[in-house]
Amino acid sequence: MNPTSAIDINFPYPRVMAVLNVTPDSFFDGGVLCDDKGFISLDLALKKVEAYLNSGADIIDVGGESTRPGATPVNENQELDRVIPVVEAIVTRFGALVSVDTSSPVVIKESANAGAAMINDVRALSRKGAVEAVFKANLSVCLMHMIGEPFNMQVTPSYNDELKEVKGFLLGRVSACESAGITREKIFVDPGFGFGKTLKHNLTLFRGLSELSELGFPLVVGLSRKSMIGSILDKPANERIFGSVALAMLAVQRGARILRVHDVAATVDVLKILHAVEGVYD
């Protein structure tokens, strides 16, 4: 299958990226797409995708490795087995834009062959060969900031200046991508809320989103159901929908261009209201 063309960054309105975790252990919805034997069900995944698309999702973000705090890595064969059949089926059945949440050069290559349009990497293409794999596949990429690895990122995160350090990291990874031949119009950036950050760090970064949005690259924001919302509201993940859509609206007002969410319908409704009141799509 030929890869889908990279995602155009010049879209006129904020886009909704729907989270599709084909994992048994993601923090909010791990295992919901597994059958009664614990294997990923392609039928359940496609039903979820159809519901997302009917609710207004623009991009489906498929992930085969949990990156929740404390998560252990999976090997490439496990990740390929989880991700590639789902990507192929989504592209074939729906023709939808698909992003793949991966750091593996092998998974990047095979995702492109399966029809993915974008790589969403929590490690910002820092693994050996990852930058080259994205360049060769002509994919878009989202570069995210994280301290450490998922298994230890929340142990003792520390910053002298959160906004300055995150900006510097992202610009450094952009430079690495450009040096390898990835053009600017294929690059998105994500401050990485919850990835090596305390509640204070997250709030400081959120207040600085307008400054991050001025870096010259579309800003991706993933806040859906995360622990920072739980800390503020004192509620478990399954009771954080209102906090999630509130932050989604505030993020768009501060320059976010793609919202990575679990609750597509609610987020789309909020964006429609925001557009009607403030014309954020104009």
Annotated domain spans of the chain: 15-278
Question: Residue 134 has what pLDDT?
Answer: 98
Q: Is 226 a catalytic residue?
A: yes
- For the purposes of burial, counting CB atoms within 10 Å of the CB of 260, is it exposed (0-12), middle (13-18) or buried (19 or more)? buried
Instruction: Single out the catalytic residue among 226, 235, 240, 257.
Output: 226
**Do the Cβ atoms of 121 and 84 come closer than 8 Å?**
no
Question: Residue 65 has what pLDDT?
Answer: 87
Element (H, E) at 59: strand 59-63
**Class (C level, CATH) for 15-278:** alpha beta
pTM: 0.91
228: which 2 tokens?
């920072």
For 180-190, what is each residue's pLDDT tens digit?
A: 999 999 999 99
Residue 27: pLDDT above 90? Answer: no
Residue 215 amino acid letter: L
Residue 225: pLDDT above 80? Answer: yes
For 107-163, what is each residue's pLDDT tens digit?
A: 999 999 999 999 999 999 999 999 999 999 999 999 999 997 877 778 788 899 999
Stretch 266-282: mean pLDDT: 87
Spatial distance between the Cα atoms of 100 and 111, rounded to a whole number of angstroms = 7
Element (H, E) at 111: helix 105-114
Write 270-274 long-range contacts (CB < 8 A, 24+). 270/245, 271/13, 271/14, 271/16, 274/249
Nearest by Cα to 39 from 86, 82, 90: 82
Confidence class for position 40, pLDDT limits 50, 70, 90:
confident
Question: Residue 2 has what pLDDT?
Answer: 45
Question: Residue 150 has what pLDDT?
Answer: 78
Stretch 75-85: mean pLDDT: 92
Confidence class for position 232, pLDDT limits 50, 70, 90:
very high
Element (H, E) at 86: helix 76-94
